[in-house]
Structure 1
């Protein structure tokens, strides 16, 4: 895994190139390389994984008219390399980076359709003065780009663009509204008006001061109702076993995250079948006075014992001592998924032993693991209730329920379900994922109409995916919610937090559930095999019985999160009150102090869980102090 940077600008020179590239040194501490060609500069920071002795970047083609900087891993590079050699290409290294460059030389922009893996790369063609960028299908690897004062730049992280003092730091109010809506900024938007994300499955071509973007991959969700459950289990495990095996290519120590959940446990089980040595596994737990119900270390130990892994655990205590600032600097923009905390610690622990770790990320999106999918599965029955009974009897009753004292989300999920019950399917989905209930939206910002003026682009981005024609099932199907999560929440929340926290420790994380042949096959599995008898991940549970202890398969899903709901009321309460005090809020004047106070009161009293919204405000305050 690596960090890449490049810029086309009249101000580009060697010193500027080195300075910007070195902001990404944490992503690639092993080596650095630079290419300067007039106004174009490209830099690379390397974390050596494959062809450690060679493959220094940038890498050039035979006549040095093309060069590449690359971040990621290509799992089918050996096969592509053989094809390219047969076509007459001459290789000087044994790694995957040069394979991409020759593939581009042979097939042009369509080369990305042949790549299997995670990637973000840039190729400069000096013969045509063309810059070509591409990002992998699921957005496992990040790629930002920006335009300003006649220049164009790209980078693995925004900080490399922001290092130029001439780069404008103007805040994007649409990005800000999106952030407080979802706890992250989705789609192309960032918090900065002049920086965008290249979307997953897209490529960008720049030439003569202009650029165009092309979508090269789309996920199709077309259930095959003509096959049996046994067929799908057999083929699914065949694909997954092959995906895990392909992800084990490495010249450096390798291990796996083992949370105690079914996804990571199944990855570890399959890894063990490929290795004669014990697999290195790493697990988090939560200390302090709260959080025991989220601690899955016991389940992880069962899997570790069954497969005789070399297992390490770490216990998180809610004393962060500057960690919030560290996480904010990792993202360069507000990002408030508190799973960043356990992710940071598990990556830190893993990096002490290995350079590469496999993860079970993607299992929830492909097998229906989130509560909101169950909400859609229940909505057909629920919609048959008379509107009068729902509005005047059930809804008021649920709204009066106090949240659970241990911070569990059961009551909160009930409230979200009932609030969205009468909405159309696409708005119902938004009701499940939105972090701010409608009653707060008009008063949350200091400007009363701020939300209504700036929130629509993010809302439309989600609804366009939910209603996408690539999903064959009808609007009431949870398949649409799964597709929408795969295109939005997965790349810009789950994968973003994994990338930034792992790269803070120069750890490469691989995600075999997002091997695209496997994921595309699973998109043909009928929804009734993913949720059955109100059991999420039904088909995965059936397949996992051969590999995992029964307790791991049947225990309640917790998610890789900490007990933030309780921490905010206890260990972190003094920090919350100080950071979100009225004098601190007045420093930027964007939020309404009275509404913030009401949100805190509701959370501290237990009337409503606002952990994500409060954490969002804490992160925003920290980001604003550091960047603006």
Structure 2
């Protein structure tokens, strides 16, 4: 993986501003610590930071290829998993290659198919290709949005970067937060509206979109979308088809010229990936995370029915992996809250972020590439809201029922913001776009709706988190369940099969029952582990209390200090509904508020 930046202006000569792009590139050094490069043209300045994973000598960027006297130059962040398939096809069309890197294959695919090249790609990617002859640029992002790409338009200029900090280092881009941004943070956060960068005039290319920039104009188009297709296969055929796509996705993503590992929580998803990987990687390294003395304070709940440790050992012993259990201290977890904001450039998921940041930091000491189980719950129905009628028929996002509590945090002047209407509007707008089949059973329609909501909102939030926290540590994380072929297929599995036996991920469990121990197959869904230790709660409570007492704290300009003090005084217990998802309860709400204060201060955010 890598970090990319650029400044395109096809109407002005910008070649003398190359130092501005170098500064943008330097902000992303951790995304690509192994090498860097720039491309300077009167209408385009491109920068690239590289994390070497495949073809160390042949994948240098920016990469330029000349065909029919036209120069094409690419900067690219990602990984293609069908590189050799595309290369073989392009060779039949008369093209030759100077390397075995996927970068050259991607660039050549654009030269041949132009904007349609994205329809030939299987992978995770964000890239920009500049065509010198036509003075145009094409930018695109992968199907599910695993890799990020932000941009802003200033007059006739397009400025882009893998992360928001890259844009903010440009002298003409500023961190401004308007009412829309405030509603995203306090209404939707840590989720963001597709295409939004939270800051005013900063946007993100949405997943599955390509953008042509020419003559100062942006043409943004969706190149892939889910389609409702009737599945007439038998249960046996569906199980076989699912198993094939899943194993193929995992196997394709094991290609690497550097050490590789899997994340292993003892849950179904990471266990499947680890089991397939162990057949292909000798002495597979696996990694899990926990917290000091967490077993002393763990309490079973609807969302976390059991802890991971027992099941991790079951799987590690079963596969014979070289397992590494990372134990994080409460102090380190709290201290890393600020760095996780710097990694994401916006407030996030409190210690759910900081723990992943520290986890990835430890993993990076051993390997450069990891495979993780994100996206299985969204596409195979793994969350509780897939099996609860009150959620399936609700009028808002099932993971964000705390809007009423959220609005209480804002001060009187901001309580007028229509948070509930704003969130419900986003919910209804998304539902209106759900692909459905005429006359299908209501059960299928409801599962389609929930799946679509999860893919467009919950899943992309977790993918953003995984990218920022891992790449902050120069660790590439791949997500096989986000293979768009698997997502397309799973979307059209009838509900009676997807939730086979009335269970979350029932079909997925059945499809791999010969691959894993019975204890893993039947284990109830449990999310990413969080700390339950009161030491952590005390630390974030004290930090928030200090912020409330410091009159220079920027968050005081937007919050109801009386209500927030009540949160502090009750150790977060008066915030009764999880802020987001399954994990962000009272301690995480307090931690999030300290993150927001740090963000406002560190980024010098101007609130309109």
Residue equivalent to 1:480: 449
Cα distance change, pair 149–579 in 1 and its aligned pair in 2 (3 A): farther
CA distance in 1, matches of 2:473, 2:405: 41
SS of residue paired to 2:360: helix
Cα distance change, pair 44–564 in 1 and its aligned pair in 2 (3 A): farther
Contact 1:183 1:613 in 2 (8 A): no
Q: Cα offset for 1:158?
A: 0.9
CA distance in 2, matches of 1:587, 1:502: 28
Residue equivalent to 1:464: 429
Q: Paired residue for 2:324, among 295, 304, 312?
A: 312
CA distance in 2, matches of 1:588, 1:259: 39
Residue equivalent to 2:168: 162
CA distance in 2, matches of 1:89, 1:479: 42
Q: Cα offset for 1:130?
A: 0.3
Q: Cα offset for 1:114?
A: 0.6
Cα distance change, pair 132–313 in 1 and its aligned pair in 2 (3 A): same
1:520 aligns with 2:488: yes
CA distance in 2, matches of 1:96, 1:74: 6
CA distance in 2, matches of 1:183, 1:150: 32
User: 1:379-458 maps to which residues of 2 (within 5 A)?
Assistant: 379=390, 425=393, 427=395, 429-430=396-397, 432-434=398-400, 436-438=402-404, 441=407, 444-452=410-418
Contact 2:379 2:487 in 1 (8 A): yes
Contact 1:261 1:299 in 2 (8 A): yes
Q: Paired residue for 1:125, among 107, 127, 131?
A: 131
Cα distance change, pair 8–588 in 1 and its aligned pair in 2 (3 A): farther
Q: Which moved more, 1:549-558 or 1:239-248?
A: 549-558
Residue equivalent to 2:177: 171
1:618 aligns with 2:594: yes
SS of residue paired to 1:217: coil
CA distance in 2, matches of 1:124, 1:304: 47
CA distance in 1, matches of 2:241, 2:469: 33
Cα distance change, pair 451–615 in 1 and its aligned pair in 2 (3 A): farther
Q: Cα offset for 1:457?
A: 5.4
Contact 1:144 1:158 in 2 (8 A): yes
Residue equivalent to 2:110: 104
Cα distance change, pair 606–462 in 1 and its aligned pair in 2 (3 A): closer
Contact 1:446 1:589 in 2 (8 A): no
Residue equivalent to 1:499: 467
SS of residue paired to 1:298: helix
Contact 2:24 2:166 in 1 (8 A): yes
Residue equivalent to 2:8: 8
CA distance in 2, matches of 1:223, 1:52: 45
Cα distance change, pair 587–617 in 1 and its aligned pair in 2 (3 A): closer
Contact 1:172 1:192 in 2 (8 A): yes
Cα distance change, pair 358–445 in 1 and its aligned pair in 2 (3 A): same
SS of residue paired to 1:227: coil
Q: Cα offset for 1:525?
A: 1.3
Q: Cα offset for 1:456?
A: 5.1
Gaps of 5+ in 2: 300-305, 578-584
CA distance in 1, matches of 2:325, 2:318: 16
Q: Cα offset for 1:274?
A: 2.1
1:559 aligns with 2:527: yes
Q: Paired residue for 2:64, among 60, 71, 81?
A: 60
Contact 1:236 1:518 in 2 (8 A): yes
SS of residue paired to 2:347: coil
Residue equivalent to 1:146: 152
**Deviations 1:483-526 (Å, cap 9, x if unpaired)?**
111012212x1001100111011111111111111221212211
Q: Cα offset for 1:336?
A: 2.4
Q: Paired residue for 1:192, among 199, 210, 213?
A: 199
Q: Which moved more, 1:166-175 or 1:480-489?
A: 166-175
1:219 aligns with 2:226: yes
CA distance in 1, matches of 2:109, 2:563: 55
Contact 2:554 2:597 in 1 (8 A): no
RMSD (Å) for aligned C-alpha atoms = 2.4
Cα distance change, pair 278–264 in 1 and its aligned pair in 2 (3 A): same
SS of residue paired to 1:205: strand
Contact 1:260 1:296 in 2 (8 A): yes
Contact 1:4 1:21 in 2 (8 A): yes
TM-score normalised by length of structure 2: 0.89
